[in-house]
Chains A and B, each alone.
Chain A
Amino acid sequence: MARLTINGKTHDVAVDPSTPLLWAIREQVGLTGTKYGCGIAQCGACTVHVDGAAVRSCVMPVAAAEGKKITTIEGLANGRALHKVQKAWLDNEVPQCGYCQSGMIMAVAALLREKPKPTDADIDARVTNICRCGTFQQVREAIHAAAKA
């Protein structure tokens, strides 16, 4: 049993403490916006915020996330008002298949919190998510647009 605080709500989840946070979020809490892509922290599809930092939840055990503030893609918007990254993604029509975009958006939101006006070099260093559709050109444009918003 672990107690997780996700998007402001507390959830008691009955899992082995070694279970990756990703699967507790998806299968116990039922929030499926966070995706599985590789299971070894390579692709970033599972990115969530843990105490504000972008974390690849597929390799973080539930035990390590207890007592911390977890935010998933479902909790990024403020009610019905989209986060500025989501808004920029909408305006720039970033997603293609969209499967990697939850993780991409979470990685970018964490970057902008830390660096409100990121350079291209900052983006290159901090956004390392895989997108097989190849949305990177729109991702970069949308990050700069969000930084100006």
Chain B
Amino acid sequence: MITKIPKLTRRSFVIGSTALGAGLAIGLKIPFGPSVVRAQDGSPEVTAWVVIRPDDTVVIRIARSEMGQGTLTGLAQMVAEELECDWSKVKTEYPTPGQSVKRKRAWGDFSTGGSRGIRDSHQYVREGGATARIMLIQAAANAWNVPTSECSAANSVITHKPSGRKTTYGKVAEAAAKLTPPEKPALKDPTEWKLIGKSVKRLDTMDKLTGAQVYGFDLKFPGMLNAAIKDCPVFGGKLKSYEAAKVTSMPGVRHVVTVGDSAVAVVADTWWQAKTALDALPIVWDEGENAKVSSDSIAAMLKEGLDADQAFVANQNGDVKQAIAGAAKKVEAVYAYPFQNHAPMEPMNATAKYTPDRCEVWVPTQNGEAAFAATLAASGLPADKCEVYKLHLGGGFGRRGAFHDYVTQAVLIAKQIPGTPVKLLWTREEDMLHGRYHPVMQCKLVGAFDSSNNLTGLHMRLSGQSILTSVRPEALQQGKDPLVFQGLNPSGDFGIGYSVPNLLIDHAMRNTHVPPGFWRGVNINQNAIFLECFMDEMAHAVGQDPLEFRRKLMTKHPKHLAALNAVADRAGWSKPAPQGVYRGLAQMMSFGSYVAACAEISVKDGDKIKIQRIVAATDCGYAVNPAQIERQIAGSFVYGLSGLFLQECTVKDGHIEQTNFNNYDSMRIAQMPKVESIVMPSGGFWGGVGEPTICVAAPAVLNAYFAATGKRIRTVPLKNHGITLV
């Protein structure tokens, strides 16, 4: 039976289940009592977060998923900071969701999205490290029969100061694991940090250079079969029939199976055989009513919402209608943002093995617990008979967090072939057709000015999809989707950076049959374009410098302003740009961080944009690993600018038209601008990193394009305007 995968990787992902006594874990607390929780190799757990081997190796448990964003390293830094261990001896492993359930969520939330890996767990992971350090010191002091106050720890070595005696973590871990943990360990003041804030090297680079890194789709098990799948291309449609007999004699084909009520899979010895047979399989779909929907019909529905009477209000002060009615000057514009697919490089996949007594799933997931829930539901087995093993992701970007349709499918296939591990891999085409797309949104903005060209009112009407309605309806607030207003709220982690005397920001919810999802940055992508391009429009309409226009509205938002000023200063906004170079600005707050960008572009023949440079600032409060933050900033721009220039999923006859990277392109190195990052942590809060900056690249470039050409682009992607990124 397959219960572990250490043979397949260099690191053990699985925690042994031995000695799991009662009362070992309460909430996020650590195990206590005489029994010792042991890792698979027998090494003792000092806390749920820290296993120490006799050779002083420190294994730090990471509940969140590594998908490239560096959270594995960042979270390990947080634990190690308080643990005072030797960083060169740190390894990491993922606890499993099944273990988490058994131990009352000892590792807290597994969800890895919303840029919250560090900002939501900094407290308890540091406490996990601090608790372990205190217990290790106590164990040494007990052995020496001295007070703990005379002992200190550094670099995995405990020293008894008066006598000079020393020991190592590995030598006292066994004794430490038997101690009662302290109730509430004190954490270091940020001024005492030695590891947090340091650009230590990532822990997971080497295997990615040699082909040794095992992704979900690389898994191999003895006797494993491979599955390829087709789901009804029209969302909500059903599988009507298929002619299995046409393909059952093809090479390698073992099974042709119905999956749920909308999909069919071919299971073969190899995936290529499965895919080849699936391509040859005659399938009839019942596409249903949704087959009548097109991009045009969706756009018309959203357009109606721009002027609809009913809308959910998120941010309101003063009387915007009166301000607009009495305006000396009005500025008005309508913007639109399309469906976009996540298109992570590793297509969706999951490997499942089912027997009536046990169901196991191996999957690259952003949320192990959600994958576990999908496994339970699809298998029909209780939690103690299921387990999920996480693997590194070949990209996630939000596709692998809230949605585990591929896990459900894999389990439903495996259930029909009990005892045989089955690896399901989607083709890129299946991935393009069955995304959870960036929500489609339109926005109408009206700005009101008095006779002295002061902004007196702003109405921002959003019309389009709600992700939460589709994904987590229980999170709606009397029907309102608060996530729609990211970057536009009065305050909080997504607070707007402007004060306008009369302001109204509202949302006419218009949902489609195309399922929306959390696409890196989520709703700040379009909100930043709408707000920041319109700020630029309004500044130009009243003949004011876009920076000065913003600054006047930002006096009560010092952190937003500081980020904006940082990019303006670095870019040299107050001085003319070089000949032929044009600049654009944008700023936003998202996922708890303050971000801004200044783009410098040149334009050839009116439609070929070369981005010369983007200066980008982020104030994420505390910066755990600045070098990795810089990589997230530059990387987020590739994702965001690919969306701005190249990417749109259109709907025809109810299905997505784009099928692969030939008609859904992504930026290449030739198009990559020079990104100059300013990481400016001001302290006192924990902001996100993976997503926040993504939103400022697009409006900064669009505003620079206006500066260069006088043309205002209000719909994405730019390829639809004949504009290319060179």
Binding site for B on A (CB under 8 A): 15-16, 19-20, 23, 27-28, 30-40, 42-43, 45, 72-74, 76-77, 82, 86, 89-90, 93, 95-102, 105, 123-125, 127-140
Contact = CB atoms under 8 A, between A and B. Distances in A.
5 contacts: A34-B211, A42-B660, A98-B213, A101-B208, A133-B638
B360 to A, nearest CB: 20
Interface string B669-680: 110101100000
Contacts of A132: 343-345, 395, 397, 638-639, 642, 666
Across the A-B interface, the 6 shortest Cβ-Cβ residue pairs: A33-B211, A134-B638, A99-B394, A98-B208, A97-B68, A96-B68
A82 B205 CA distance: 13
A99 B627 contact: no
A101 B218 CA distance: 15
Contacts of A97: 67-68, 344-346, 392-396
A73 B68 contact: no
A72 B211 contact: yes
B666 to A, nearest CB: 5
B412 to A, nearest CB: 23
A33 B343 CA distance: 20
Interface in B207-239: 207-215, 217-218, 220, 226
B329 interface: no
A123 B209 contact: no
A131 to B, nearest CB: 7
A40 B68 CA distance: 25
B227 to A, nearest CB: 13
Contacts of B206: 90
A124 B669 contact: yes
The residue among A40, A76, A96, A101 with the most chain B CB atoms within 10 A of its own CB is A96
B201 interface: yes
Which label, helix, strand, loop or mixed, suits the secondary structure of the B interface?
loop
Interface in B173-217: 201-202, 204-215, 217
Contacts of A89: 205, 209
Given A37-B345, A133-B395, A135-B631, A86 B211 contact: no
Nearest to A100: B345
B211 A99 contact: no
B660 A38 contact: yes
B668 interface: yes
Contacts of B499: none
B428 interface: yes
Interface in B588-645: 627, 631, 634-639, 642
A98 B394 contact: yes
B347 interface: yes
Contacts of A135: 631, 635
Given A99-B345, A99-B346, A139-B669, A19 B272 contact: yes
B685 interface: no
Nearest to A128: B668
Contact of B631 (A23, A34, A124, A138): A138
A73 B272 contact: no
Nearest to A45: B345
A32 B67 contact: no
Contacts of B661: 37-38, 40, 42-43, 130
B70 interface: yes
Contacts of B111: none
Contacts of B674: 137
Given A23-B270, A132-B395, A140-B669, A74 B210 contact: yes
Nearest to A34: B211
Given A45-B345, A73-B210, A134-B634, 8 more contacts: A15-B272, A27-B272, A39-B427, A43-B345, A97-B393, A101-B208, A133-B635, A134-B637
Given A32-B214, A74-B210, A95-B208, A137 B675 contact: yes
